[in-house]
Amino acid sequence: MRRVPVYYYSSVSNLTRRFAVGLATHDGRPVRDLADAAVRASEVDGPWVLLTPSYKAGNAEEVTLPAAVRRFLRSATNRRHMVGVIGSGNRNFGVYYQAAARELAQISGRPVLFEFELSGTPEDVVECARVLADVDGLLTAPGG
Ligand SMILES: Cc1cc2nc3c(=O)[nH]c(=O)nc-3n(C[C@H](O)[C@H](O)[C@H](O)COP(=O)(O)O)c2cc1C
């Protein structure tokens, strides 16, 4: 069964990266780092899931999606094949909690598959891995 790859961005604080590494370690989920220029400039060959933090900093007009994510989404192929979004955030940001993942999900019409705070808990990793396995199954099912 094809396992849907997770493309993630993480800033220097590395919180999202820790979660992505947790997914890869948990059950071998393929994860790709958008901090790598070659990954950012690449095009997918099938369905994929985005994992992104939010960076709003309290300004309603501010773009929330990290630049590396926006770069990857410039490709129409990549936009078309994105099947869902996972968000890393911090509830201290109140109404902006998960702003990037939620705004992108709304604009793209794709679901938010999972949300967690900071680098997530071990339980978050297990739960997210389960959701991604469900996505694998749906994409493999006839007509999926
Ligand atoms: C300047 C700044 C702005 C942030 N804005 C938001 C926000 O709008 N919504 C949110 O849920 N989290 C926000 N966060 C929290 C980060 O998204 C969260 O800590 C995330 O885990 C960071 O991931 P990273 O270390 O991989 O970059 C912000 C953090 C910083 C430092």
Under CATH, which number does the domain 6-136 receive? 3.40.50.360
Q: SS3 for 117?
A: strand
- Ligand 1 lined by 99 (C-beta under 6 Å): yes
Give pTM, 2 decimals: 0.96
Beta-carbon contacts of 79 under 8 Å, excluding residues fewer than 6 positions away, are 73, 108
> Looking up tokens 């996505």, which residue turns up?
135
Low-confidence ranges of the chain (pLDDT < 70): 57-63, 143-144
Q: What is the pLDDT of residue 141?
A: 79
pLDDT at 59: 63
Binding site membership of 97 for ligand 1 (Cβ less than 6 Å): yes
Q: Which residues pair with 115 in a beta bridge?
A: 87
Question: What angle is formed at CA 36 by the lines to CA 104 and CA 129, rounded to 5 degrees?
Answer: 55
14 lines ligand 1 (CB under 6 A): yes
Among residues 72, 65, 106, which one has the least CA distance to residue 89? Answer: 65
Q: Domain residues of the chain, as ranges?
A: 6-136
pLDDT at 4: 98
Q: How far is the CA of 96 from the centre of ligand 1 (A)?
A: 10
Q: What is the pLDDT of residue 1?
A: 87
139 Cα to the center of ligand 1, angstroms: 31
Sequence-separated (6 or more) residues with CB below 8 Å from residue 16: 8, 9, 10, 51, 52, 53, 88, 119
**Among the listed residues 89, 84, 91, 95, the one whose alpha carbon sits nearest the alpha carbon of residue 120:** 89
Bridge partners (DSSP) of residue 75 are none
Whose alpha carbon is nearest atom 1 of ligand 1?
57
Q: At which residue do the structure tokens 């099947």 appear?
A: 83
24 CB under 6 A from ligand 1?
no
Atom of ligand 1 nearest to the CA of 16: 26
